[in-house]
Structure 1
Amino acid sequence: MNAEIELKLFFQLEQQQTLVNLLDSLPNSEQKACRKLTNGYFETPDLQLRKWDMGLRVRGYDGHREQTIKTAGSVIGGIHSRPEYNVDIEQDVPNLHLFPKEIWPQPANISAVQSQLTCLFDTDFDRRTWHIYVDESLIEVALDIGQVSVTRDGETKSEPICELEFELMAGKTAALIELGSKVAESVAVRLGKASKAQRGYRLAAQSSPLSLDVLKFIELETEQDLKLTLISLLSSGIERWQQLEAMILESCLHDIEQLPFLCYRLRACVRLLRCTLEQFNLLNDQHIARFDCIEAHLDFVEIGLSLTEILSQNSQLIAKLSCKKQLESQTRKALASLAIPCLFNKMLADTCYGSLQLGLVEILFGVRDGEVSVNIQTELMVFADRMQEASWQKIVGLMPSESDLTSKEYQSLARALDDSIFVGVAYGELYAKESRDVFRAPWQDLVLGIRTLAAYRKLREISLALGVDISDWLQNKEASLIFAMEQSRRTALKNQPYWR
């Protein structure tokens, strides 16, 4: 049995030669064999192996065959760790009885599973490898180019494979991250969460559609120390970032109306990570530059949200207007012309994207391994109270109850309000549910109100471009909404903070 510890990065095919040149040029780098690997992944009709969180394949290379089963493992901050068992075989179909008996759950009828095995999908790729030393650690780097394919009823569906895997052969996990970060500085890469097997299951339509509940609060325990708290915040943020990225890339192909909100959620995730580094005094100039770079790439989010707000729920925002169809059609054209898939892919092609991901992983494992210190000597609840009070005082300063706010002023405060809510997302789980939710509800309503005000502004632009006059209607709608928001804000400012 081997326990793989590896870092997986995705890249675009046009970066292949750049990566080869870079890996060849690194100190203590030795290029190894280039092989063509054919892999058949086997399953039962009821996906029994997947239910056991196992993956089974037969790999062929150089006239040799090997069956491998991977059992339940973990992914933390992009680092994959999963036990695997390998057995040399002579046939194309795996023999489950050749694996150790103790790996199977009890009771399990392995003979019955064996009799139902069929090849569900294939992953065939060319693998070029290097052995690279980073200090005293040995890393095997594999560059894989090929495809995942599924053939059913004579029809074949496929997806490209462009992956870079760093497997720790000997030494420290930190060496994987150090080498990955060095690559990310020169080549546009990003953390890879989905394995080839996971992608194959999805292509074979044997996985549920990608989904991720909106994050309400991060799970924390009052008795944990700040080191564990930081690890929880970082690992949750990085994992959600990867999941949202995958959902966005899927929506780019099927549902562009979902893209603005998904990109908004991804941006919120990135901002939460930035907020976390700042709170723990870990935000340096390099991190700030990378965060700012990603923010700049995502500056389409507000416009996209406004357009989808107009279109959402069968255009309820404009449902009673006689010119609804004109407005709706023009809004869809505006959303399409925003070209969000191109903008998102442009961000992925910027080295700041992958470099920030790797930088966050480096901090996460540095904290876990004691190489990055949490130099804040206080209990978690005291720290959480302090962070929330500071955030609250900033909002009170920006939104004094004695001042009336205009639509423009509300929209200028959107970022500050978002950041304050992120603090509650990070630490809210530590407090009593009832008082916490009562306090947060009106502020969350204000966020939605600000989004609607932005939609009204965009609707004004669209109507003017069409030569449609809805100015009086818009003015009344805006005035009514601002009145309601002002009442909600003044009530919210009087509420007793739940952390006091």
Structure 2
Amino acid sequence: MDAEIELKLFIQPQHHDLLKKILNEYPNSTPQGQKKLTNGYFDTDDLQLRRWDMGLRVRGFDNQLEQTIKTAGRVVGGIHSRPEYNVNIDQKTPILSRFPKEIWPIGNDLDKVSTSLTCIFETNFERQTWHIYLNDSLVEVALDVGEIIANDKVDPICELEFELLAGDTSALVTLAIEVAKSVPFRLGKASKAQRGYQLAGKSKPFTIEHIDYVSLPKNNNMQQVLSTLLETGLERWQLIENILTLPTSDVHQQSALWGELRHCVRLLRLTLNQFGLLDQRTSPLFDHLEQALAFVSPLQSCCLLLQDDAKPLANINNKTLVCQQLENHISLMSVSTQLASIWQQPEYGQLQLALVDLLLTAESGKNQGRHYPELGLFANQLQQASWKRIGKSMPITAEMNSIDYQHVADALDESILVGFAYGEMYPAKKREAFRAPWQDLALGISTLSAYKILRHLSAQHQLNIEAWLDNKETSLLFAMEHSRKSALKVPIYW
């Protein structure tokens, strides 16, 4: 058995030549040549192996055939770790009896599984490799370019894998960070096998389920709390990326996904700041990404007005024309190409890799020199500090207008995220009673932003809706002020 530990990154084809030049010239790098790999992935029609969390393939290379089975493993950030078993064979279909008996679940019917195997999909690609020594570690870097084929469907492969051959796992991230200074990447959570099952229609599409509170460890181990928060943010970030890559014309779905992606990024930044880990390396990277995501708030505001067949615009004059101008405004945001554009900025992948590095450090316990209060006290202090900032920015004695609310939007968003990160620790009834009006206020702020966009469009295109806007904004501000002053009186739940 081999324990495969690798970091997977996705790369765009236009960067291949630069990447090869960097790897060829990297200190202590030895090019290992290029080979063509053909791979058939096998399972039963009812996906018995997948239900056992196993992946089975037969790989052809250099006139040889090798069958490999990977058993249950783990993906942390972009680090894939799975036990695997490799056996040379002389046929293109796998022979399960050649693998060790102890890897199979108790009570399995291996003969039945063997006779039911079929090739579900193929992955065929050119692999160019380098061996690079980094301190006391040896890393194999592989550039894979090719395609996944399933039922006449094709999905391109264009990825870089850093596999640990000897030494410390941290060498994978250290080397990737160096390369990412020159070549744009993003973390690759989905393996070729996962993508193949998806392409073959043998797995459910990626979806965002109801967002629940972060499930924190119960043992008061603050390093594990940090690891859980970082891993939750990174995992969700990559899941949203995967969904955003799927073709869709539903701008409302895209708006929701972009909003969730920004929440993930902000949660990660907030976590680093809370644990004293936001530094000169990560802070500018977060700033850069936050700027790149500046389109998200206007997108969400426009979609608010257009939801439910533009129900919020039901009583407006020239509704059809107003809707058309809002749709044009959204079109100018180029939402469908935003992800590809942001990926091309090196800071995007650099931030993801920096977070993986911090996650590995937390999991290894190398932050033990830092002292934090026990979890309950830590969470209470964070909630209280956030609450004080909200009370200071919107005191109960103040009368707030639309501009005032715009100015506190980010602070309110941060406060809501603090509650999301630690809310699971508190009684649900009191927690939800406290949070609900603040979440309503956040929605109100987004609606005020939408009215601001409408004012701009009205002036630009002579829509003549100023009177309608004045009435809507006055009514909304009245409701928000009442809600805010009531919310400030609700007892805290921590």
Query: Which interval holds the TM-score relative to the shorter structure?
Result: over 0.9
Q: What CA distance in whole angstroms lies between the structure 2 residues aligned with 1:101 and 1:391?
A: 55
Distance 2:306 2:63 in 1: 57
SS at match of 1:215: coil
Q: 1:86 corresponds to which residue?
A: 86
- Output the amino acid matched with 1:292: D
User: How far apart are residue 222 of structure 1 and its match?
Assistant: 4.4
Within the alignment, does 1:231 sit opposite 2:224 as a pair? no
Aligned-pair distance for 1:35? 0.5
Match of 2:192 in 1: 196
- TM-score scaled by length of structure 2: 0.97
Equivalent pair of 1:69/1:86 in contact (CA under 8 Å): yes
- 1:321-367 per-position Cα deviation (integer Å, ceiling 9, x unaligned): 45332222332222222102333222111111111111111111112
Q: Which amino acid aligns with 1:232?
A: T
Give the whole-Å Cα distance in 1 for the aligned partners of 2:456 and 2:114. Answer: 64
Q: Which amino acid aligns with 1:78?
A: G
Partner in structure 1 of residue 156 of structure 2: 160
How far apart in 1 are the matches of 2:296 and 2:369? 34
Tell me the TM-score normalized by structure 1: 0.96
Structure 1 counterpart of 2:154, one-letter code: S
CA distance in 2, matches of 1:106, 1:321: 67
Tell me how far 1:398 sits from its aligned partner: 0.2
Q: Cα deviation per residue 1:412-433 (whole Å; 9 max; x = unaligned)?
A: 2110100111111111111111
Please give the per-residue CA displacement for 1:1-23, whole angstroms capped at 9, x wherever unaligned.
11101110111011111111111
2:118 matched to which residue of 1? Answer: 118
- C-alpha separation between the residues in 1 aligned to 2:456 and 2:365? 54
One-letter amino acid matched to 2:167: G
- Distance in 2, matches of 1:351 and 1:93, equals 42
User: What is the Cα deviation at residue 254 of structure 1?
Assistant: 4.5
**SS in structure 2 at match of 1:494:** coil
| CA deviation after TM superposition for structure 1 residue 319, in Å | 2.9
Q: Which stretch has the larger CA shift, 12-21 or 473-482?
A: 473-482
CA distance in 2, matches of 1:163, 1:245: 15
CA distance in 2: counterparts of 1:160 and 1:429, whole angstroms:
41
- Alignment of 1:209 with 2:205, yes or no, is yes
Residue 107 of structure 1 corresponds to which residue in structure 2? 107
Return the alpha-carbon distance in structure 1 between the equivalents of residues 472 and 292 of structure 2: 32
Structure 2 alignment gaps of length 5 or more: none
Identify the range of structure 1 (310-319 vs 161-170) with the bigger mean alpha-carbon deviation: 310-319
1:258 paired to 2:253: yes
Give the Cα–Cα distance (whole angstroms) in 2 for the partners of residues 70 and 367 of structure 1: 27
> What is the identity, as a one-letter code, of the residue corresponding to 1:233?
L
Q: 1:45 to 1:377 in 2, by over 3 A?
A: closer
User: SS of 1:186's equivalent?
Assistant: coil
Between stretches 418-427 and 366-375, larger displacement belongs to: 366-375
- Give yes or no for the alignment of 1:174 onto 2:150: no
Question: Residues 308-323 of structure 1: matches in 2 within 5 Å?
Answer: 308-321=303-316, 323=318
Identity in percent: 48
Tell me, in whole angstroms, the C-alpha distance in 1 between the residues paired with 2:35 and 2:360.
32
Distance 2:368 2:20 in 1: 36
* Partners of 1:249 and 1:257 in 2: CA distance: 15
8 Å CA contact 1:9–1:190 kept in 2: the answer is: yes
Give the structure 1 partner of residue 60 of structure 2. Answer: 60
**Which residue in the other structure is 1:4 paired with?**
4
Cα offsets for 1:206-227 (capped at 9, x unmatched): 2212112253411114432211
Q: Is the CA contact 1:227–1:374 (under 8 Å) kept in the aligned structure 2?
A: no
CA contact (8 A) 1:264 1:301 kept: yes
Q: CA deviation at 1:464?
A: 4.0
Name the CA distance, whole Å, in 1 between partners of 2:120 and 2:39. 11
Provide the residue aligned with 2:402 in structure 1: 407
Q: Secondary structure at the match of 2:164?
A: strand
Secondary structure (helix, strand or coil) at the match of 2:108 reads coil
Q: Distance in 2 between matches of 1:389 and 1:48?
A: 50
